[in-house]
Amino acid sequence: MLFTTLVSFGQQNFVAIDTLSSECSNALGQEYQKKFESINKSISFKKAAEKNLIKEIYSEIQEDFLEKIKQKNFICNNDLEHYLKGLMDEVLTKNNINPQDYKILLSKDSEINAYNTGDGTIVINYGLFLTVENEDELVFVISHEIGHQFLSHVRNDIEAYVKLSRSESIIAKTKEIQRQKYGKATKANDLLKSIRYESYEKRRRKEIEADSIGIVFYGRTLRNPKAAINILEKFDSSDIERDSLTVADYKFIFEKNGFTVKQKYFNEEKSLFSKYDKLKGIDIDSLKSHPDCTTRIKLIEKKLEAKFSETYSNPTVFSEIKRNSTYQNLYNLYSSKKYGISLYESLKLYKKQTDDPVLQKIIHLNLLKIYESRINYTINRYVPAHDNLYNTASLNRFVSYLNNIKISDFETIINNFKS
């Protein structure tokens, strides 16, 4: 609501999409409550133990999804919903698939991703708009997620997990670990690692399967096939941070009105478990949101075997969403109470655009919230923790800075950004 006032900068105006509508989230919650009840009634499995475990898994997944709706994780906007539904229906109708069996939602999540829930729902993360450069790339992502649903990947994964967890070999290995007098943690970690690699291989295979059928679905829209390769190339590097905040950046941004950035603000608190933080032996590609894109690109190129056009679909509605995506994403993070990440991403932009009023405003609002959390000792709810495996050095430096500066320093910084 703090962003509903029109903010002008340069030749562009920005008004944030209201993501906090209770009326919309209540209606969506009721819709999915009924849908989940219908799904649960249809669950059938021969063995009682396996059937109960499947019900338990579905229940946890459904409760998590309903909680996301309750927390207003999904953006309610008639224009955006109509636009995305139109793109999804284009793919479905061109492939003789009933659009009534599918629904598309837009999440506030900033991760560059999309996913299929297994019940006909396709979720597009708003962060995807930060990466896609044209509508064709977006339509391929939707086609890929339709492919996951068409191939029943989510349901098959759940059933495979249930069979694995109830298999004699896993039960025997678990009991063996429980009987160990020494080295339980090592053996348990080895078992977990083997299961993790197995699930990664399955996940990798399913992504290739969804690509294969997705490119068929996408091809029938007669859109530019090169878009499929382009977006996978972007996904391949999406886990790499493209910008950072150095100590020099902090000095440039914050040193005003007598405030001095000191080296001690960046001292990291050493974890008791720091020697385990790197988890040596884990294939880094297995941790990616989009596994093995290089192989997937080669397979699609081989499948297409076509000369590619350099013309892509870029209608006005897509261009408008794309133009506002950076600022809307910062607002989404703020409205999701991810004040730390919202501030971090804002500062990386601000160091290059210090006269941007939108960035100044979101930085000020995030600083106020983080300052409040420091006073109330709740900062860990809103700012990421140190993590040497998943965080970049830049993000860990940012976390140290917010935790180490004095409260009086915080007040000075906030006043410097107040306008």
- Band the pLDDT of 147: cuts 50, 70, 90: very high
Arithmetic mean of pLDDT, 274-295 = 58
Count of helices and strands (H, E) across the chain: 15, 5
Strand partners, 123: 105, 115
**Max CA-CA distance within the chain?**
72
- Among 43-52, 179-188, 257-266, 271-280, the minimum mean pLDDT is found in 271-280
Which amino acid appears at position 14 of this protein? F
Mean pLDDT score, 287-307:
77
Token pair for residue 235?
């996904």
Closest CA to 398 of 346, 321, 336, 335: 346
Residue 418 confidence (pLDDT): 85
CA dihedral 66, 71, 74, 79 (to 10 degrees): 120
Residue 62, pLDDT above cutoff 50: yes
CA angle 221, 225, 226 (to 5 degrees): 150
CA dihedral 254, 1, 323, 353 (to 10 degrees): -10
Q: Report the alpha-carbon distance of residue 256 to residue 266 in Å, rounded.
A: 19
**CA-only gyration radius of the chain, Å:** 24
CA-to-CA dists, residue 213 to 140, 290, 303, angstroms: 11, 17, 11
pLDDT at residue 41 tops 80: yes
| Distance between CA atoms of residues 15 and 18, nearest Å | 9
State mean pLDDT over 135-144.
Answer: 97
Q: What is the pLDDT of residue 10?
A: 38
In percent, how much of the chain has pLDDT > 70?
81
Which position has the token pair 């290995």? 173
Cα 247 to Cα 223, 298, 368, 397, 413, distances in angstroms: 46, 41, 22, 9, 16
**What CA–CA distance (Å, rounded) separates 397 from 267?**
8
CB atoms within 10 A of CB 38: 10
Residues 69-83 have pLDDT tens digits of: 999 999 989 999 999
- What distance in Å separates the CA atoms of residue 381 and residue 398, rounded to the nearest whole number? 15
pLDDT tens by residue, 187-219? 555 545 554 445 667 778 889 999 999 999 999
pLDDT of residue 50: 75
pLDDT of residue 43: 81
Q: What percent of the chain has pLDDT over 90?
A: 59
Q: Look at residue 4 in the predicted model and tell me its pLDDT.
A: 43
Both tokens of 178, joined, read: 């429980």
Look at residue 407 in the predicted model and tell me its pLDDT: 93
Query: pLDDT-based confidence at 60, cuts 50/70/90?
Result: confident
Spatial distance between the Cα atoms of 135 and 127, rounded to a whole number of angstroms: 15
Mean pLDDT within 131-149:
97
Angstrom distances, CA of residue 276 to CA of 10, 282, 417: 49, 12, 39
Taking Cα atoms as reference points, which of 150, 140, 160, 232 lies closest to residue 202?
160
Find the helix or strand (DSSP H, E) in which 125 lies: strand 121-125
**Burial annotation 87-97 (CB, 10 A radius, 16+ → b, else e):** bbebbbeebeb
Which pLDDT tens digit goes with each residue over 351-401?
Answer: 999 999 999 999 999 999 999 999 999 999 999 998 888 889 999 999 999
Give the span between the Cα atoms of 415 and 69, in whole angstroms: 36
Q: Which tokens hold the place of 354?
A: 């210090």
The most confident of the ranges 5-9, 78-82, 286-290, 386-390 is 78-82
